[in-house]
Structure 1
Amino acid sequence: MTAIEQYLIDTWRASRLGEPMPPPPGRDDVAVLRSARTYAQFQAVLDGREARHPWRAALRRLAHPHGAR
């Protein structure tokens, strides 16, 4: 069963029982990714490392896929 199918079943059940509708799948995905990035940057600062910009790190990983610098 896909996430959309489960969502449709859950919305049908909620409407039958008079409960609030569930959030659609994927609604908070971007917020979760942003909070994970922010947490990683926060941990870097606590560990005494530089909190680097996420795009620079992603570009570095693309340019050097095997960890070579």
Structure 2
Amino acid sequence: MSITQQHLLDTYRAQRLGEAPPPPPGTRDWRTARELRGYWQFHAVVAERPAHARLRRALGRLLHPHPRRSAC
């Protein structure tokens, strides 16, 4: 069952029961992303690691890898 089909089914059930319909899929995506970022930052601070720019540094390492030096 797709997310759209599930939403339509939930809306139908809510209408039959006289309840408020659920929000459409995707309306709270940005809010969830911000909450996750805050969660990660909090745990980084508790673990005494830098709390910001961790994702940017990791993506930078993936996109621009440094050449490895040989041990010979």
Structural mapping, 1:41-52, within 5 Å: 41-52=41-52
* Structure 2 residue runs without a partner (length 5+): none
Structure 1 runs, 4 residues or longer, greater than 3 Å off: none
For normalisation by structure 1, the TM-score amounts to: 0.71
Deviation of 1:30 after TM superposition, in Å, equals 1.8
Structural mapping, 1:7-26, within 5 Å: 7-26=7-26
C-alpha distance in structure 2 between counterparts of 1:32 and 1:60, whole Å: 24
Q: Is the CA contact (8 Å cut-off) linking 1:45 and 1:51 kept in structure 2?
A: yes
Report the counterpart of residue 53 of structure 2 in structure 1: 53
Aligned residues: 66
Report the counterpart of residue 33 of structure 2 in structure 1: 33
C-alpha distance in structure 2 between counterparts of 1:59 and 1:36, whole Å: 18
For normalisation by structure 2, the TM-score amounts to: 0.69
Measured on the aligned residues, the alpha-carbon RMSD in Å equals 2.3
Deviation of 1:56 after TM superposition, in Å, equals 2.4
Q: Which secondary structure state, in structure 1, belongs to the residue aligned with residue 25 of structure 2?
A: coil
Tell which deviates more after alignment, 9-18 or 54-63: 54-63
Q: Deviations over 1:2-43 (max 9, x none)?
A: 110111111112112211111211222221121111111111
Q: What amino acid does structure 2 have at the position aligned with 1:32?
A: T
